[in-house]
A = this chain, B = another copy of it.
Amino acid sequence: STKFKQLSPAEFFYNNRSMAGFDNPTRAVYTVMRELIENSLDACDAHGIKPLIYVSLKRVAADELEVLIADNGVGVPSRYIADAFGRVFFGSKYTIRQSRGTFGLGGKMAILYGQLTTGEPVNVATSIGSDIHLVKLSIDIKLNQPIVHQKKILHNPNSYRGTTVSIKFKGDYVSARNRVIRYLRMTRIALPYASIIFFDPENQVFLAPALTESMPKPPVESKPHPYGVDIIKVKEMVDSSKREVTLLKFLQKFSRIGVTTASRFVTWLGLDPNRPVKKLSDDEIKKIVEGFKSFTFLPPDGSSLSPLGEQTIRTGLTSEYNPEFISVTTRPPSAYEGFSFIVEAALAYGGGINSENGSNEVRLLRFANKIPLIYDSSNDVAMKVIEEDIDWANYGLDPKVDPLLIFIHIAASKVPFKTAGKEYVADREEVRREIRLALRKCARDLKTYLSKKKREQNFHMR
């Protein structure tokens, strides 16, 4: 007879760790590094702290590594430390605000991978400025909860604030090295205000001191934008509303809906503004959700987002590639499923970008929420736009042959990642459209530049 069973979230990702970027011992090194670095960067720049991050990766046995990462971030409050590092789907980044973290999974997967390859617990030291808390823990997979092996509290006379995480795990650093370095170089492009120091197992140092003094101000949490919000979301918001809340009041829980817009929307839909929202029927909720898709609301205001900005993109591309010409386009904020996002695109041409690429492949540099994306580019929504939506010949360009580099950054309060390992971005229509519009604008600018350059060259030749 058939055995039915319930799996915990930790069991699911332990069973299916390839989904989270732990496909093999080489990929595991990359994933452990990037998950820890992204946690440290979030702990800094989401709180207006200029990141100073130290990472060391040491060889402790034949195929065994130990990673140690130390940041100057905001720290973890003591009552949350064990769950933050020991419970899958537990985290602080489930808000409507741009951050690298989004799943409440990454740190736990790195710890879990250490546990399954070496049996060793993770060591965490953290402080929010008061006492320093040291915790040694492992993950109870069946129950999806932390097992605390040891706890210690230290006084903090210098008010140190930040987090240190140390994990022993098996992995192949030699095969992973190029990708790890590429990740760090790409991070440098996106984050000129961050200092990252990396000591690798061969005692090589990757030193990336901050290039700029100032930092963009952190994004702030926003309300959901009405565009693309679905029935489940609206029902959740109705459930969490007080009993007396009217439809008119309820609509103002959405971004860009003030009392005037709310009244116009309710009138347009033919509903009663004073109706208690908890009394709405399923059909009326469906009508509201349909209306959200077709009514013209102001677009999102972008305050929950943190784009790179044209200056950072130009500086980064120039320092890495020294191109002859760069066209940058920043799209206005858009939304999908109620989440706002901004696409920034650039085309870099010539200079240090040479066309004897040999491989006849598109040169594509992808970022999402300032995270470098290195794997699985062929299925990324950006690659679909490049290969299916842009008529490059129309601009006199061929991205597979010309000395051309394509740069895409998606800054979103939720990035529609296709994998739990954040390898690539899903083919979401609203996102695809914004990338398409951004690249067409960049291509037009590049075409203009190249025609002008050609005319000048022809002029000189006479």
Residues of chain A having any CB pair with chain B under 8 Å: 1-9, 11-12, 14-16, 18-19, 23-25, 27, 74, 77, 80, 83-84, 87, 89-92, 94-95, 103-104, 112, 115-119, 141-142, 230-233, 235-236, 282, 285-286, 375-376, 378-379, 414, 416-420, 426-429
User: Which B residues lie within 8 Å of A419 (CB)?
Assistant: 19, 418-419
- Docked Cα-Cα span, A375 to B379, in Å, equals 9
Known: A103-B12, A230-B117, A232-B115. A95 touches B282 (CB 8 A): no
Task: Please tell me if the beta carbons of B376 and A23 are within 8 angstroms of each other in the complex.
Answer: no
Indicate whether A2 sits within 8 Å of B141 (C-beta atoms), given known contacts A15-B414, A231-B119, A419-B419: no
Query: B residues within 8 A CB of A286?
Result: 118-119
Q: Is the CB of B87 within 8 A of A6?
A: yes
Residues in B neighbouring A233, C-beta threshold 8 A: 116
**B89–A8 CB distance below 8 A:** yes
Residue in A27, A232, A235, A420 whose Cβ sees the most chain B Cβ within 10 Å: A232
Question: A231's contact among B5, B115, B282, B428, by CB below 8 Å, is which?
Answer: B115
Closest-CB distance, A28 to chain B (whole angstroms): 12
Cα of A112 to Cα of B3 in the assembled complex, Å: 24
A148 CB to nearest B CB, Å: 17
Chain B CB within 10 Å — which of A375, A414, A427 has the most? A427
A7 → chain B closest CB, angstroms: 4
Interchain CB contact under 8 A, A27 and B80: no
Instruction: For the complex formed, measure the closest distance between the CB of A80 and the CB atoms of chain B, giving whole angstroms.
Output: 5
Pull 16 A–B residue pairs with CB atoms less than 8 Å apart, ordered by A: A2-B74, A5-B91, A5-B92, A11-B89, A18-B416, A18-B426, A19-B420, A19-B426, A24-B427, A117-B230, A117-B231, A119-B285, A141-B236, A375-B379, A418-B419, A420-B420
